[in-house]
Amino acid sequence: MGLDKINWKLLTLLSQNGRLTYAELAKLVHLSAPAVAERVRKLEELGVITGYGVQVNLEKAGIPITALIGCQVYRTKEREFKALIMEVDEVIECYNVTGPYAFMLKVGVKSMSKLDALLERLIDLSDTNTMMIMSQPVDRTMPLNIAQQD
Amino acid sequence: MGLDKINWKLLTLLSQNGRLTYAELAKLVHLSAPAVAERVRKLEELGVITGYGVQVNLEKAGIPITALIGCQVYRTKEREFKALIMEVDEVIECYNVTGPYAFMLKVGVKSMSKLDALLERLIDLSDTNTMMIMSQPVDRTMPLNIAQQD
DNA sequence: ATTGAAATTACCGTTGA
DNA sequence: TCAACGGTAATTTCAAT
């Protein structure tokens, strides 16, 4: 739990550039490369770091349409809904949240007709509210300056 | 735009493991390592790949509370709101969307009082609707099986 | 295939409990 | 005194060309 300042720095640096080498990280946190390697290894072991990935510009990748979909799932259909969601390729993120919109989805599609087809699949299990994403002014992996937060 | 099947495969593989080497990628797509390196280089140049990062378990990192906040921003305060959002450390993602909730935020905080303080900062510029995140059954970088989408 | 860099290992020293 | 952590150096692996 209590990650120290250096581990936070490492997480922040890696979230901004997951390909930094241990030597580069070492310079940035004023430690030796093996010391950094050991810290990162432990962060992975603890499950704090769960993996490494690329950041993709979906628009440039040929996915021009992304949307958030608030889903007011019918009380008896929650389990079924969750199972469905996990099978739908277009779903990028799915949050189970408090409040009337039990699930919030982020989806990416190639066309409006694809989006329409997707909503059709959901409508049997929930009322949906679709919000088209126009821009994303902030996109991070985690909060900033976490060390400063009490 | 028209990324071919192999480039999609590369993107998918890298989104699942951003540390795969060119040699490993080469085996998985049945090409030579230099050919893969060239493709990845071009994807970066085109801006399809915008970076590399780590995936972090916020809970294990000591950020136990995450929430989505729908923000109904007052008509005259949109610019001010956007400026504020970009300065708030706790904001992880911010989407500008269609519909009454002009902005949807994903935030991460260490305590409920921190969340309360954050909402206080927003309330002058917008009506907010907070949804606490209980779980995230799907977390991807992009849609699956994109090649199959027409 | 060769060169160079990065990861890993082993070993030692320091510190603090 | 012992456990935890970091540094240095040598070795081995591996990636880029």
Give yes or no: residues A71 and A49 share one domain. no
- Which chain A residue has the Cα nearest residue B109? A143
Query: What pLDDT shows up at residue A56?
Result: 95
Check if B53 contacts A (Cβ < 8 Å).
yes
Q: Of all residues in chain B, what percent are helix, strand and coil, respectively (each to 5)?
A: 40, 30, 30
Give yes or no: residues A69 and A16 share one domain. no
Distance, angstroms, CA A32 to C1' C14? 15
Domain count for chain B: 2
Contact yes or no for A125/A84 (Cβ under 8 A): yes
Contact: B107, A143; criterion CB under 8 Å: yes
pLDDT at residue B1 is higher than 60: no
- The two beta strands, B65-73 and B49-56, are unpaired
Convert the pLDDT of each residue in A53-103 to its tens digit.
Answer: 999 999 999 999 999 999 999 999 999 999 999 999 999 999 999 999 899
CA distance B45 to B43: 5
pLDDT at residue B150 is higher than 80: no
The 3-state DSSP class for residue B50 equals strand
Q: Name the average pLDDT for chain A.
A: 94
Q: Which residues of chain A have a CB within 8 Å of the CB of B100?
A: none
For residue B31, tell me if it sits in a domain. yes
pLDDT at residue A22 is higher than 60: yes
Query: What pLDDT shows up at residue A112?
Result: 98
Contact yes or no for A58/B92 (Cβ under 8 A): no
Give per-residue burial for B104-134: e unless 16+ CB within 10 Å, then b: bbbbbbbeeebbeebeeebeebbebbbbebe
For residue A30, tell me if it sits in a domain. yes
Query: What pLDDT shows up at residue B148?
Result: 67
Query: What pLDDT shows up at residue B48?
Result: 94
- Spatial CB neighbours of A16, under 8 Å, sequence gap ≥ 6: B51, B53
Which amino acid does the sequence have at B118? Answer: L
B59 touches strand D (CB under 7 A): no
Q: Which domain does A91 fall in, by range?
A: 65-132
Percentage of residues of chain B with pLDDT beyond 90: 76
Give yes or no: residues B45 and B75 share one domain. no
- The β-bridge partners of A104 are A70, A95
| pTM for the whole structure | 0.93
For residue B97, tell me if it sits in a domain. yes
